[in-house]
Structure 1
Amino acid sequence: MKIQDVERVGDLAAAAAEAWGDKEFARFGELAVSFTELDRWSDALAEDLVRRGVGAGDRVMMLLVNRLEVLPVAVAAWKIGAIAVPVVAIYRSHELNEIVKDSRPAAVVTAQSLGPRALAEELDGCLARAGVEPAARYLVDATESVEGWGTLPPVDTVPTGNVVLPEPSAPHEECLRLYTSGSTSAPKGVRLHSPSVIFGGRQFNYRLGIDETDTGLALAPVAHIAGFLAACLVPLTTGAGAVILPRWNVEDAVRVIDEHKVTWSLGAAVFLKDLVEEYERRKGDGLHVLTYYVSGGANTAPDLIERADAIGMWAARTYGMTEMSGVVTLAPRESSVDRRSLWDGKLADNAECRILDPDGNPLPVDTEGRITIRGVQVLLGYTDPALNAAQIDAEGWFDTGDLGIVTADGWMQITGRTKDIINRGGEKFSSADIEHVLHRHADVSAAAVFGVPHDRLGESVCAYVVTRPGATPPTGEALAEFMLAQDIAKAKVPTEWHFAEEIPRTASGKVQKHLLRAARDGEAPIALAPTSR
């Protein structure tokens, strides 16, 4: 099958191997695999999954930091009609309990440990609490045996051909599930199908011309849609190679970009800012500069795009969501610096945008309102039917929860958000989830959390706390320690604390966060407790 004719993700690896063969598909440190090796490795993994009882429609969950193994496991799941479920490793048992309960995986893949964390033990606990008994549990790079866990077949494993594999899932069936935080407390399960996922990768060819002559840098977590695009979907659909960073470090990134002549990447604005500053600092070193950078996930300052252009890097703001397999707007390669710096990209060719007023009525072009999107890239739905009812209407329009304008020729500009979420370096967190954890503290009477501007990460987490009457007011440091003890992701812990006498609310009891924001900026009075810090 020709790569351009593929309609099911389960057919991508074989078609890519036929098209690009021994060309390097992806690299992680010294370990690299070609397109042919990926196809063979994923065949062997698919056989092992089927032998253990995993089949069509089952969920294959990967809790891993950036590693090459995420890619063949996802491809193996697709080959047998199963659903790949990459999960970012910043999540701890607080979030994992909900994800395991929702996904009920038939197979799990993780590392034995991550720093001080015993990942296999964490997952065992989550699985037990959810009453889930997977057919397969795999460890990567295990230093010792762990009861109940096997070892993931390595890259040189050869498929036997003796196992009959199920057919890949049909194009419009779920193939990829990603968990993202939103306006609700628990992580939301986003269900994506083959057309969405395949177009998500191909549009980098359509708009930027990315092809087999290019090499991408996966600098975001590979279990996040941005990292998964760079490491897996764009290579499988365009033939571009990929280099996966183990973690973000700008000096390492610049070295890898130079060594492998990397041409493109995408991710949060924080990565672009670090790269631009490093290139400016090392001007005259003769380094190969990254050719394209697609910046999304947090507000990107116009001057940052201009600074990138001055050092020879094409950079552009973009708008995307996990619910749309990544980016839904992308500037064409020939776009001017002004367009790329002041606008958030041009709507994808497959997508329609409708801007609504507060009553749900369509607005004319160039008018600010609530953004709704319809098209191939939009998710099949959430795992929670209540969320589907709230965000997807009968005609397939998805309510993004964001505010903006769109021009007659499809250029979009984001002006704000209606959802109560925090976007920290491209990772979206629910304010409600963080508040719920704070409310567990015996001395906390009320808490309100929201995002505040951060020069590097786009947003950081700010908390207003009311102490229970008669209690000794805790410090911000003490509350941070308490939250970490609740196994919440470290990135969700507030870095800015205020202690107030009360939280302003409407007559119906809804927290008025706009007043808290104004108080923080010195624009409105809020009664602060003496312990404010």
Structure 2
Amino acid sequence: MMRPIVLSHLKAGGESSAALAAPGRLSLTYGQLRALVARTHRQLAARGIGPGDRAAIVLPNGPEMASCFLAIASGLSAAPLNPSYTKAEFDFYLSDLRPKLVLVEEGADSPVRQSALDLGIAVAELHVAEGDPAGAFTLWPEEAASTPPSHEHEALVLHTSGTTSRPKVVPLSQANLFASANSVATALALSPSDQCLNIMPLFHIHGLIGVLLSSISAGASVCCTPGFNALRFFTWVDETQPSWYSAVPTMHQAILQRAERNRELVARSKLRLIRSSSASLPPAVFNALHETFGCPIIEAYGMTEATHQMASNPLGPGKQKPGFVGRAAGPEIRILDARGRSLPAGVEGEVCIRGDNVTAGYDNNPEANAASFIDGWFRTGDQGFLDEDGYLKISGRIKEIINRGGEKISPLEVDDVLIEHPAISQVVTFGMPHKSLGEEVAVVVVLVEGQKLVLSDVQEFAAGRLAPFKIPRKLVVLDEIPKGATGKVQRIGLAKVLGLTETQA
């Protein structure tokens, strides 16, 4: 039996089989990847860095980011950071994480260098030789004997999004990563013949575990792009012929917008499945993806504290339920009430989890840990229910539920109705301040090209489909919906971002 550490997953692929690829570059084989990882561990050991230490990774999306993560997470703890952060942001994250080393691209002019200098943290560059295969790099010539980590050692550390408070530090162990990667690979029936086209950022749990480590654990390959680009997506699919890709709903919607003008490339594609996670996928988008690509659409449910995956729709004809995030696929899932009592099928409550992929707790935050765990169950902060077949329906983040004069409204329910409007391409429902009601229902939309829309059109369409108190009272039309760095929409705070104040309600 494999030891539950990340290093064990790197043994899955054949010596000459492709592990990492990139458009227009030679592939890195599993044999080369294993040699790179072992060499990197020895180089780090020569500087006294090993299990129990953290190394921050500040690299652009691509194969070197992927291989660097695998090398660091399999020997110590990886702390991937968004390379587009400002110096003030790097100051905060480096101070919070206290890494022993910051890894950067050779010659990169990043403010993280000054942040690390100010904090007394060493900086190392990844040296990539001309003509090297995708993902190959070296740090320095010195080497020493290295020690592998135990299953309890930290392998990855990330921050929560911090939409309503200071971001919390989420440490994830070697065993957490091992278990979650296995869960994704099993749910998707990944094999060495699979190749994923990665368009997700590799400083986020979705791309790191849901795409990269799950593929490596199955001996499959990952084609690492520079990041999501709707204009280049179909060309990448045509050139690399991946068997699957994973994305957030806003990315899927952008892909669908360009699918019609790329019908020939779509027809030539060989996608075995399409995966969606990190936010709710509207049933209309689910159906459009299935009609366009003709393959199963697998919606999954994940979060950082669960090392990504918690639930997934099964593979197989007719086993996916649009609007549901699937069955438990990793940890146990239970719906609990406010007192921690288990609720029966069909009854809405808080989604709670426990299992091998769930973090043991936030770093140096006893208050958050006390609030987040109840009788060994982690409270996700999501509201939902399990149906009679064990499929999970998410009705929204508890903190995102709109409270209109005591009436509780799920933004996802309104989204699912309005996305059916023929003029609407994308929609996000959120609460905006109201003097007497507390909150009012507002929506921001992106229109189908050439279409026009006013608030009365939206209200007329929603009438009969939604209860009167759920019908939007404010419409904002934009060319693009504001999103976070990972492509997710942050409903909390959206009214402020759009300048919707209480006096305008």
Pairwise same-fold verdict (TM > 0.5): yes
> Closer, same or farther in 2 for the Cα pair 1:5/1:56, shift >3 Å?
closer
After superposition, the C-alpha distances for 1:86-127 in whole angstroms (9 at most, x for unaligned) are 12224333332221112111111123677xxx31xx223333
> Closer, same or farther in 2 for the Cα pair 1:323/1:453, shift >3 Å?
farther
Aligned to 1:177: 157
SS at match of 2:503: coil
Aligned to 1:43: 38
- Note the C-alpha offset of 1:317: 2.4
Matching of residues 12-411 of structure 1 within 5 Å: 12-13=9-10, 15-16=11-12, 19-29=13-23, 30-80=25-75, 82-111=76-105, 118-119=109-110, 122-129=111-118, 131-134=119-122, 136-139=123-126, 155=136, 163-166=144-147, 168-229=148-209, 232-285=212-265, 286-311=267-292, 312-334=294-316, 336=318, 339-348=320-329, 350-385=330-365, 386-393=367-374, 395-411=375-391
AA aligned opposite 1:527: T
AA aligned opposite 2:347: T
AA aligned opposite 2:503: A
> Closer, same or farther in 2 for the Cα pair 1:327/1:490, shift >3 Å?
closer
Q: TM-score, normalised by structure 1?
A: 0.71
AA aligned opposite 2:321: R
SS at match of 2:121: coil
- Report the more deviating stretch, 201-210 or 32-41: 201-210
Runs in 1 of length 4+ with deviation above 4 angstroms?
139-143, 156-162, 420-423, 450-456, 489-496
Q: How many residue pairs get matched?
A: 420
SS at match of 2:498: strand
Aligned to 1:498: 499
AA aligned opposite 2:2: D
CA distance in 2, matches of 1:355, 1:490: 25
AA aligned opposite 1:191: P
Residue identity over aligned pairs, in percent, reads 25
SS at match of 1:190: strand
- Note the C-alpha offset of 1:164: 1.0
> Closer, same or farther in 2 for the Cα pair 1:199/1:297, shift >3 Å?
same
- Report the more deviating stretch, 243-252 or 364-373: 243-252
5+ residue gaps, structure 1, are 144-153, 424-430, 432-447, 457-488, 501-525
AA aligned opposite 2:7: G
CA distance in 2, matches of 1:282, 1:36: 37
The CA RMSD over aligned residues, in Å, is 3.4
- Note the C-alpha offset of 1:157: 5.5
Q: TM-score, normalised by structure 2?
A: 0.74
CA distance in 1, matches of 2:167, 2:211: 23
Matching of residues 408-487 of structure 1 within 5 Å: 408-419=388-399, 453-454=444-445
Checking the alignment, whether the CA contact within 8 Å between 1:188 and 1:382 is kept in structure 2 is yes
CA distance in 2, matches of 1:362, 1:156: 50
CA distance in 2, matches of 1:31, 1:381: 41
- Note the C-alpha offset of 1:231: 5.0
AA aligned opposite 1:137: A
CA distance in 2, matches of 1:198, 1:299: 25
- Note the C-alpha offset of 1:190: 1.3
Aligned to 2:5: 8
